[in-house]
Amino acid sequence: MTSKQNKLRELGKQAVQQSLPARMQAFRCMLNERTLTYKRTLLSAADREVTVQDPFTGALRNMLMFASNNYLGLATHPHVVQRVKETIDRYGCGMGGPPLLNGYNRLIAELEERLAAFKSQEAALVFSSGFAANLGIAGALCRSNDLILYDEKSHASLYDGLQLTGAKGIPYLHNNITQLTALLEEAKPKQGTVFVCTEGVFSMDGDLAPLDQIARLCKQDGAMLVVDDAHGTGVLGEEGSGTASYLQCAHEADITMGTFSKAFATCGGFVAASAGLVEYLRYHARSYVFSASLPPPVVATVLAGLEVIHAEPWLRKQLQQNAAYAIQKLAPFGFCVPPQAAIIALKLPEQMSLEKAAFLFHQKGIFVNPIEYPAVPPGGERFRISIMATHTREDIDRLATATEEVWNDPSAYHS
């Protein structure tokens, strides 16, 4: 970490104890010191190429999008768009209430049935976001005498969900089966339910959890397996049903959670599990009970997305081929871990400034995500590249050329 970063972090730490105005002032100082490529405004659909209002010049410009979770290009797929238009004509734009009161309609019921089948579970429940689904699972199911073992690289929603439980949470080293085995062994004689939580495809690294091994351990030790398959759903496995299917253990997870904000390219989340568990969650997950239902156009987007995923397996194949090509082209620059799905985490060379390098990518018309704390631990800064089925080979070549130029540009490094 550079002295400037150190100084800013120190200021931030001191500010935590201060009043809100002082904290806001410290934050403003921090923002003024930085050249941020966050929150760029798009003026077009979230496609492989986007029109962006440049935050530095105000000009409109086209950029190649390598930061979107719209993995299959469903955000603009003609079938999805058509179905959404028809749905708006019939159902309007919103529900105006939560699902247990006035906010449940036939479309949501149909989606829940389809998701349950898609995930090889008895039932499913639709939330207003994946984040809300994770909060809902934790808050409704875990109690203070339970134990939650979770992968240290879990998403923020899992960490925040833990705060709601009062249960003891123990992180295990990323994908470390030996440590998980020991923790499960230790937990055996204790009271309460043991939950094991992992992602299918890890959101910041793009590697997979050894779900088959984790499932076996859970079965052996009577623990409940909770899989967050935000990034595997629609991308991996038979019919795109996710990471568990890809690793031949589709029926093993007790609870699978997913989101509509990745391959379905919209928003919302879901939980798929046994009928009894879903019924319990429906009345106990506070982020479900006390939050308005997804609007019909969003539900229609996911229903149509499921139809496309079923009818057009070539999209998944194209995504896999594009990801393989991108991995091959980007390998010389170094990965945080070997990528296995459509997410590629590029490790920063020594002394590279994430901020300066991000600005260079931006200037070259390449839209990539700079990732830093708190999305990853301090020191884990990286560029997170997302590949889409709609990218062309030329797009990926442009990404690789830009990466080489940024990596070789002295202005990308701390001075």
Catalytic site residues?
A: 203, 231, 262
Residues composing the chain: 415
Nearest-approach distance from CB 324 to ligand PLP, in angstroms: 22
Q: For ligand PLP, give the closer residue by CB, 121 or 287.
A: 287
Residues lying near ligand PLP in the complex (CB under 6 A)? 129-131, 134, 155, 157, 199, 203, 228, 230, 259, 261, 269
The residue nearest ligand PLP at its CB is: 130
Angstrom distance (rounded) from CA 51 to CA 45: 8
> Please, where are the H alpha helices in 78-169?
78-91, 106-118, 130-141, 156-163
| Residues 337 and 380 sit within 8 Å (Cβ to Cβ) | no
Nearest-approach distance from CB 411 to ligand PLP, in angstroms: 31
Q: For ligand PLP, give the closer residue by CB, 199 or 355.
A: 199
| Residues 287 and 128 sit within 8 Å (Cβ to Cβ) | yes
Q: For ligand PLP, give the closer residue by CB, 224 or 402.
A: 224
As to burial, measured by CB atoms within 10 angstroms (0-12 exposed, 13-18 middle, 19+ buried), residue 28 is exposed
Nearest-approach distance from CB 3 to ligand PLP, in angstroms: 32
Q: Residue 203: which of 168, 158, 148 has the closest Cα?
A: 158
Cis peptide before 210 (omega within 30 of 0): no
Angstrom distance (rounded) from CA 151 to CA 97: 35
Nearest-approach distance from CB 312 to ligand PLP, in angstroms: 23
Q: For ligand PLP, give the closer residue by CB, 5 or 157.
A: 157
CA atoms within 13 A on the CB side of 382: 22
Nearest-approach distance from CB 198 to ligand PLP, in angstroms: 10
Q: For ligand PLP, give the closer residue by CB, 134 or 369.
A: 134
